């Protein structure tokens, strides 16, 4: 690549060097030579442009290993702001392809292959003297620490424009993100915007910036559009407000999850089972639901718990849950009621939906009562067989085939027309299975599934 003559680059030794996308190496190299430098942590082009617009810098150094396809847009933004300031790019050899166009269009002044010899930096910046403090506007507060950059410049309040996001917190982070993208394009007249709560996601847009919530960086804001200096700080403020709403939505989602999930096994808990069943029964007049409740527990679980320890018992509970989930259909509800007692709700609604409070859960099969019964029996048989064949490492090799379950089935509406009656009938069927030798599943008084 034909490089520009670095001697022609005019720099002011009293101003610091702005680093963009530095991984710490350039900061260390310049500092060793006595040069002052600073920049936002990570690769945050928007914050760097905002800082460049408000303070004096002798040059900009952009790590194109990070900027890559954004290089020409970022270089162009710096040149539009202050055409007389050198914009230097650097990186490993493979990065050179990303700066060819920037150099050809005179958006960047030079590309420096890494590692950069010390004498080349001297030819660019000279040997530093006693430099003055970094000049900043009185309205701004800037930390020149390489690890962080804080800007507080009395931004106008744009909360009102993004207030609708607060109403979507309970709908989840995806709903917040979708609305945030619409508002960003509307408020700032942008053509393409993407908000992501995955910091590792990559997008070939012109600019990107981290968005920060109450507990740190939440994600990234990507913009494929030229940004005016006037809008830089407002977009950053909007991004951080969006991050806060994403954080709140994630926390709300996590709390909802914890409220219905058994922490040990990952199965649903009793609260969710009862809530789900009540909604199915309530809407049965229009959905014509076929529903069967299975309650089962592990035979002689106390023996294994006492002889192998509680941690081994916990592993058995987790593996039992995993086996039952493998046997069930996706829309069936596997729950841990407590201790070693579990429940499974098998359901098929003619209307092909169930009411989980926030959204409908799809059931794509149109299943009549007879087919429903055969499905339940088949799942129960598979579960008993898999349990008998499974190894439980925490119990040792001799445990294979010795861990069994007893269960009871109750059908809706034949065995009960309300939640309480169904639970009671299934529990009575479980006790019948226990009395008649265990290792089997009873259907309200009669054997339904045995593993002999």
**Chain segment 27-46, per-residue pLDDT in tens:** 888 888 888 888 887 677 77
d(CA 207, CA 227): 9
Contact (CB, 8 A) for 245 and 165: yes
**Which of the four CATH numbers 3.40.50.2300, 3.40.50.12280, 3.30.70.260, 3.30.420.40 does domain 6-125 have?**
3.40.50.2300
Specify the pairing of strand 289-298 against strand 341-349. Answer: antiparallel
Helix residue ranges per DSSP H, 113-156: 118-125
Whether the link from the prior residue into 284 is cis, omega within 30° of 0, is no
CA distances from 4 to 7, 65, 85, 215 (A): 9, 20, 14, 44
CATH number of 268-450: 3.30.70.270
Q: Is the pLDDT of residue 420 over 80?
A: yes
Map out the domains of the chain as residue ranges. 6-125, 159-260, 268-450
Does 413 score more than 50 pLDDT? Answer: yes
- Predicted confidence at residue 286, as pLDDT, reads 66
Contact 18, 146 (CB under 8 A): no
For the cut 80, the answer to whether the pLDDT of residue 141 exceeds it is: no
Packing angle between helix 118-125 and helix 25-32, nearest 10 degrees?
Answer: 70
* Centroid of chain to Cα 106: 40
Q: Count of CB atoms within 10 A of residue 139's CB?
A: 9
In three-state form (DSSP H/G/I as H, E/B as E, the rest C), the secondary structure along 31-72 is: HHCCCCEECCCCCCHHHHHHHHHHCCCCEEEEEHHHHHHHHH
Strands (E) located in 214-317: 216-223, 268-269, 289-298
pLDDT band for position 94 (cuts 50, 70, 90)? low
Overall pTM > 0.75: no
The span from the CA of 287 to the CA of 412, in Å, is: 13
Q: In 43-196, where does DSSP find H-type helix?
A: 45-54, 64-67, 71-81, 100-104, 118-125, 173-188
Helices (H) and strands (E) in the chain, counts: 14, 17
Share of residues in the chain with pLDDT > 70 (%)? 77
Q: 210-246, pLDDT tens digit by residue?
A: 888 878 888 888 888 777 767 777 888 888 889 989 9
Sorted by sequence, the CB contacts under 8 Å of residue 408 that are 6+ apart come out as: 294, 295, 296, 425, 426, 427, 428, 429, 430, 431, 432, 433, 441, 442, 443, 444
Residue 274, pLDDT > 90, answer: yes
Give the per-residue pLDDT at 361: 46
Backbone angles phi, psi at 335, to 5 degrees: -130, 150
Model confidence at 202: pLDDT above 70: no
- Per residue in 288-322, pLDDT (tens digit) is 778 999 999 999 888 888 888 889 999 999 999 99
Q: How many CB atoms lie within 10 A of CB 198?
A: 8
> What pLDDT was estimated at residue 32?
84
CA distance 349 to 279: 12
pLDDT of residue 145: 38
Separation of alpha carbons 405 and 451, rounded Å: 10
Can you say how many angstroms the Cα of residue 105 is from the centroid of all Cα atoms in its chain?
39
Residue 286: its H or E element: helix 284-287
Q: Among 376, 374, 349, which Cα is nearest to 363's?
A: 349
Measure Cα distances from 397 to 314, 344, 391, 400, 403 in Å. 17, 28, 7, 6, 12
- What pLDDT was estimated at residue 157? 55
**Of 78-87, 118-127, 348-357, the least confident:** 348-357
Q: Which of 182, 154, 172 is nearest to 245 (CA)?
A: 172
Helix (H) or strand (E) holding 280: helix 270-282
Chain-centroid distance, C-alpha 271: 26
């Amino acid at each position: 690549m034909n490089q520009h003559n670095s001697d022609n680059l005019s720099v002011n030794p009293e101003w610091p060097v702005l680093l963009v996308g530095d991984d710490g190496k350039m900061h260390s190299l310049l500092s060793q030579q006595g040069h002052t430098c600073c920049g936002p942590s990570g690769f945050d082009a928007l914050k760097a442009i905002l800082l460049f617009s408000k303070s004096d810098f002798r040059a900009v150094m952009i790590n194109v290993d990070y900027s890559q396809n954004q290089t020409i847009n970022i270089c162009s933004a710096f040149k539009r702001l202050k055409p007389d300031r050198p914009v230097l790019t650097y990186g490993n050899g493979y990065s050179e392809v990303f700066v060819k166009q920037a150099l050809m269009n005179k958006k960047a002044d030079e590309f420096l292959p890494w590692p950069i010899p010390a004498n080349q930096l001297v030819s660019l910046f000279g040997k530093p003297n006693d430099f003055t403090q970094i000049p900043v506007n009185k309205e701004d507060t800037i930390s020149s620490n390489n690890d962080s950059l804080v800007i507080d410049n009395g931004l106008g309040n744009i909360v009102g424009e993004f207030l609708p996001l607060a109403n979507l917190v309970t709908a989840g982070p995806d709903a917040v993100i979708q609305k945030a993208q619409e508002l960003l394009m509307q408020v700032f007249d942008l053509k393409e915007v993407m908000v992501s709560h995955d910091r590792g996601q990559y997008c070939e847009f012109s600019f990107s910036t981290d968005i920060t919530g109450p507990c740190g960086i939440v994600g990234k804001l990507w913009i494929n559009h030229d940004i005016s200096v006037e809008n830089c700080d407002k977009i950053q403020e909007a991004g951080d407000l969006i991050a806060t709403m994403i954080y709140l939505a994630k926390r709300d989602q996590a709390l909802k999850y914890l409220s219905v999930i058994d922490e040990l096994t990952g199965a649903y808990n009793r609260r969710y089972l009862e809530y789900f069943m009540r909604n199915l029964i309530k809407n049965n007049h229009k959905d014509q639901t076929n529903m069967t409740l299975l309650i089962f527990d592990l035979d002689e679980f106390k023996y294994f718990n006492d002889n192998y320890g509680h941690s081994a018992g916990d592993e058995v509970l987790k593996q039992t849950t995993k086996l039952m989930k493998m046997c069930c259909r996706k829309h069936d509800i596997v729950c841990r009621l407590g201790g070693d007692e579990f429940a499974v709700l098998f359901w098929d609604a003619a209307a092909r939906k169930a009411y989980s409070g926030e959204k409908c859960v799809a059931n794509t099969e149109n299943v009549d009562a007879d087919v429903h019964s055969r499905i339940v029996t088949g799942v129960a048989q598979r579960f008993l067989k898999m349990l008998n064949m499974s190894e439980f490492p925490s119990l040792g090799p001799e445990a294979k085939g010795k861990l069994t379950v007893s269960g009871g089935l109750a059908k809706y509406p034949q065995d009960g027309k309300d939640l309480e009656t169904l639970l009671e009938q299934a529990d009575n069927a479980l006790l019948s299975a226990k009395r008649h030798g265990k290792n089997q599943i009873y259907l309200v008084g009669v054997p339904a599934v045995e593993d002999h």
